[in-house]
Amino acid sequence: MGYNYTYLSNVFNRIFGCGFSKFVNRFRVENAAEMLRTTDDSMMQISNACGFESIRSFNEQFKLVYAMSPTDYRAGWFEKRS
């Protein structure tokens, strides 16, 4: 693109309020939450479908966004629906 990495990083951070990695992980986690609500797919299937390299990474990132594990999120979602 012809732009300095630091410059692009600063612009991205100014526009979105976070770094690129954090932005991408939040996007992945939000997609995972949707899948947890709408499918019966396993945690591994959801993790892989959303681009996480490991179930551990998936769990860590999910907890950062929702302050609970994906398993607890799914259980709580279905309890509210009942």
- pLDDT for 31: 98
Residues 53-64 pLDDT 10s: 999 999 999 999
Residue 29 · residue 21 · CB < 8 Å: no
Q: Is the pLDDT at 69 greater than 90, yes or no?
A: yes
Tokens read off for 27: 């996007």
Give the Cα separation of 16 and 2 in Å (integer): 21
- pLDDT for 48: 97
Q: Which CATH number is correct for 21-81, 1.10.10.60, 1.20.1080.10, 3.40.50.2020, 3.40.50.80?
A: 1.10.10.60
Residues 21-32 pLDDT 10s: 898 999 999 999
pTM for this prediction: 0.81
